[in-house]
Structure 1
Amino acid sequence: MSKILIVDDEQAMREGLSDNLLFEGYETVLAENGKVALEKAKEEHFDLIVLDVMMPEMSGFDVCRKLRQLNIFTPVILLTAKGEEIDRVLGLELGGDDYMTKPFSLRELLARIKAILRRTQTSESQNKADEFIKIGLMEVDFNKYIAKVSGKELKLSHRELEVLHFLLKHKNQIVSRDDLLKNIWQYDEFPTTRTIDNFILRLRQKVEIHPNEPKVILTVHGMGYKLV
């Protein structure tokens, strides 16, 4: 049974979400603010976090940033009443895995939860032997979603590994920013390419010997990126 942490300062919202998720067969834990959520995420394992953005004292963005700083890479769906472009971009750049604007369709939220859990649990349930693939400085086992550098495990977010895996599956092919957004972030349209560009820059810091002179993840100007 998947365990989901629901974080929202509105009691009716978090209890309503909990009731619906319980009905779908999930286990739920509730947190009324960001500080409580952080403590629970440090103490317990969750398969997914549904995280409200607009909360007093500590926003959902701050919680997401802190989680990633603590090397907690539990998938996060951000919920907010705001729909401006900057919020969506910021949330994804801070490590959010998906983004929904209130009011939202419960059916759509459930579908996105199922999609994220299916991806994460499929990779975690693989019992194959370690199969590390060399990508620049890193060795990556995509069956178990483990990355190493010089034999030491490197903490990567699930999304970073997904992007690497997608580029690897299209090795020596040009992958556009739209391809990544549709297949990894699963947005049909996106108002800016900054999210992808910044994401690739961060990946290069971990993959490339000289990130400013990339030899592994190349930029194909005007078209996208290519893993060689």
Structure 2
Amino acid sequence: MNILIIDDDQSLRYMLREICKYAGWDSVVAENGVEGLDKFREIKPDLALVDYHMPEMDGLKTVKKLREEDIHTPIIVLTVDERQEIADQFLQAGASDFALKPVKAPDIIARIQLHIRLANIQEFQNNEVDVYTTKGISKQTMNHISEYLQQQQDAIPVDQISKRVGLAYPTVYRYLMHLLEIGKVKQTVSHQKIGRPKKLYQWFTK
């Protein structure tokens, strides 16, 4: 398996290469989005890791360009910015998920393994094209979240769903909003004794 690492931070590129080596994966690095796009075309990686803040071409533009080249390859964005509006922009551009900095080896390895598995499911079912829609929704990721929700008897919060399905909180939240919009999920509010009310989500069964 070959991982493309696009990040302007030399120390992080080195660390990510070491993590890939530990996991038994090959890796190729690029210092910015322009170089990353060239490497993407050249090596056709199994997955791309893309930093948000970069010179030459930032992470958002890079994700858009990569997605124009290929609609299937998983793209994980590396960021310290957890704002949902930023996540929504990336997901709409075609990002698959996020990994928060500082990067932790177990987390990034698990995240890569999950997205490679989802990509392999898509390849196995290659009669259908997993297109990133204008809403930034991937069918395989939506199925992954939906299957988990269908197995739960109780309504649960986003952070718990995020931990269980192995996807970043902003990714899960966006997919839940989509499932809520199309009537597959229902939202309830749990009033806590301490703190703000908590929103819970549950698969809608008629």
Pairwise TM-score range, normalised by the shorter structure: 0.5 to 0.7
CA distance in 1, matches of 2:179, 2:161: 11
1:1-228 equivalences under 5 Å are: 2-124=1-123, 143-147=124-128, 156-157=131-132, 159-163=138-142, 186-187=167-168, 190=170, 197=177
TM score, norm. by length of structure 1 = 0.62
Structure 1 letter corresponding to 2:87: R
- SS of match in other structure, 2:55: coil
Give the letter aligned to residue 54 of structure 1.
H
Counterpart Cα distance in 2 of 1:40 and 1:67: 10
Structure 2: which 5+ residue stretches go unaligned? 151-155, 188-200
Higher helix share: 2
Identify if the C-alpha distance between structure 1 residues 10 and 44 changes in structure 2 by more than 3 Å, giving closer, same or farther. Answer: same
* 1:67 Cα deviation from its structure 2 partner: 1.8
In structure 2, the CA distance between the partners of 1:108 and 1:193, relative to structure 1 (3 Å rule), is closer
State the SS of the aligned residue for 2:99. Answer: strand
The CA deviation at 1:167 is 6.2
Q: Which runs of 5+ in 1 are unaligned?
A: 125-142, 148-153, 171-175, 202-216
Deviation, structure 1 residue 38: 0.9
Distance 1:76 1:220, change over 3 A: closer
What is the alpha-carbon distance in structure 2 between the residues aligned to residue 191 and residue 167 of structure 1? 13
Shift of 1:121: 2.9
Distance 1:19 1:221 in 2: 43
Please, what is the CA RMSD of the aligned residues? 3.7
Q: Report the more deviating stretch, 190-199 or 87-96.
A: 190-199
- Most deviating of 15-24 and 177-186: 177-186
Change (3 A) 1:166 1:105: closer
The AA in structure 2 aligned to 1:159 is: S
CA distance in 2, matches of 1:182, 1:102: 17
Deviations 1:81-107 (A, max 9, x none): 323332223222222111122113222
- The TM-score, its normalising length taken from structure 2, stands at 0.67
Q: Distance in 2 between matches of 1:166 and 1:191?
A: 10
- Cα pair 1:7 1:31 within 8 Å, conserved: yes
Matches of 1:7 and 1:42 in 2, distance apart?
Answer: 13
Letter in 2 for 1:146: N
Where 2:138 maps in the other structure, the secondary structure is: helix
The letter for the 1-side match of 2:126 is Y
